[in-house]
Structure 1
Amino acid sequence: MGTESPRRAREVLRTLLNGLSLGVLLIIVALGALTIVVPAAVGGMPLSVLTGSMRPTYPPGTLVVIKPAAPEEIGVGDVITFQIESGNPAVATHRVIARSTDSGTGEVRFTTQGDANNTPDAEPVQPVQIRGKVWYAIPYLGWANQAIDGSTRNWAVPTLTGALFVYAAWTVGSGLRERRQKKRTAEEAPAPRSEGD
């Protein structure tokens, strides 16, 4: 009876740790899918919000996932990511507050403004500047995205994913080994003798 209690406590602790490990693994896999796989599947990209211009909707540190959108798919109220200056890689993510058409070219233009800004952006956005429309956002994950630059991400993400899968396989394997060992021990144990023997 005395050895049963510590053994049972160890089993409960091991089960809890295995459950926690599996939960963490599933969260990491889900986040990886939401930030890498899903955007890549639709030709989109994850970007980090660095300024407070879109508070409270997208505060700094938010990861926004954008997907390509044709000008006719963009309406007032949509949040778009666009080049601040045509041909310049720097981008901003602001809300469309008006659509207009250039009288000379007939090309649509978008007036944008950050939710936290008091005035609209100085220049209307041309279709050529648009990188995409915000599809979904994940709070706080932008800080991690910002901390891991492109070259680090190329080796860190596959390494971390591989390590997690190895750990998960080891956890499952050790659990199966332990069950087999218990079953073998139970089979090898002598049968209880009856009082008449």
Structure 2
Amino acid sequence: MKIVKGVIRIASWLVYLCIACYLLIAAPIIAGYKPVVVLSGSMEPTYHVGSVIYYRQTPFEDIREGDAITFRAGEDGMVTHRVVKKNELSGTFQTKGDANQTEDPSPVEYKNVIGKVWKISIPYAGYFVAYSRNITVIGIMAAIIVLNVVCDSLIPGKKEGEERAENEKKERLS
């Protein structure tokens, strides 16, 4: 029974570690940055597929050529590409993916810009985020934590007297 308790305890620490990682990935939200997972290789090698990048709403004046921006493309899509030209008169940006040979076919209107991308990205964290959002994974993690609590209450650990006696025995042997 102690082996089962040990395995559950290790699994619960792994769950707590996953939760801590998830909180670290989400921490920039406090500063107004929103995370997004890179799904394509159009911005390689700057942002690898599976990376988490962060963007923040930025005024038109603060976006410059060379900045990466995230913008709405179509109904549900978001794209992150680099600004290659900024048109002050029309309020648009000509964009291009770092890995693409040509510029995007149509300019991006500022009203479609969601935000300017922060310089920091976390490679491969997007795979972790996608995996941890799965309802089955969440259920398994919750079950492991509940099992750990139940095991701690049903399977007693060493009693204080046993621990003291064991420590005294170790002291005599040394």
**TM-score after normalising by structure 2:** 0.67
Higher CA-based Rg = 1
Identity across matched positions, percent: 30
Range with bigger deviation, 71-80 or 26-35: 26-35
Q: For the residues of structure 1 that align with 2:167 and 2:85, how far apart are their CA atoms?
A: 77
> Quick one: which amino acid aligns to residue 62 of structure 1?
S
Q: Is the counterpart of residue 137 in structure 1 residue 117 in structure 2?
A: no
CA distance in 2, matches of 1:78, 1:180: 61
Q: CA deviation at 1:73?
A: 2.4
Gap runs ≥5 in structure 2: 1-5
Aligned to 2:105: 122
Residue type at the aligned position of 1:140: Y
Shift of 1:60: 1.5
| Deviation (angstroms), 1:45 | 2.9
Count of aligned positions: 163
Structure 2 SS opposite 1:61 = coil
Q: For residue 115 of structure 1, give the secondary structure of its aligned residue in structure 2.
A: coil
* 1:97-118 deviation per Cα after TM superposition (whole angstroms, max 9, x unaligned): 222212xxxx532221111011
Distance change in 2, residues 1:99/1:181 (3 Å): farther
Gaps of 5+ in 1: 1-13, 193-197
Q: 1:80 to 1:165 in 2, by over 3 A?
A: farther
Tell me how far apart the structure 2 counterparts of residues 27 and 187 of structure 1 sit (CA, whole Å): 31
Match of 1:72 in 2: 61
Question: What's the CA shift for 1:169?
Answer: 7.4
Could you list the per-position Cα deviations for residues 113-147 of structure 1 after superposition, in whole angstroms to 9, with x for gaps in the alignment?
11101111112211111112222321112234345
CA distance in structure 2 between the aligned counterparts of 1:55 and 1:100, rounded to whole angstroms = 25
Name the counterpart of 1:33. 23
SS at match of 1:128: helix
SS of structure 2 residue aligned to 1:94: strand
Distance 1:185 1:116, change over 3 A: same
Shift of 1:43: 4.5
Partner of 2:87: 100
2:127 aligned counterpart, secondary structure: helix
Aligned to 1:143, what secondary structure does the other structure show? helix
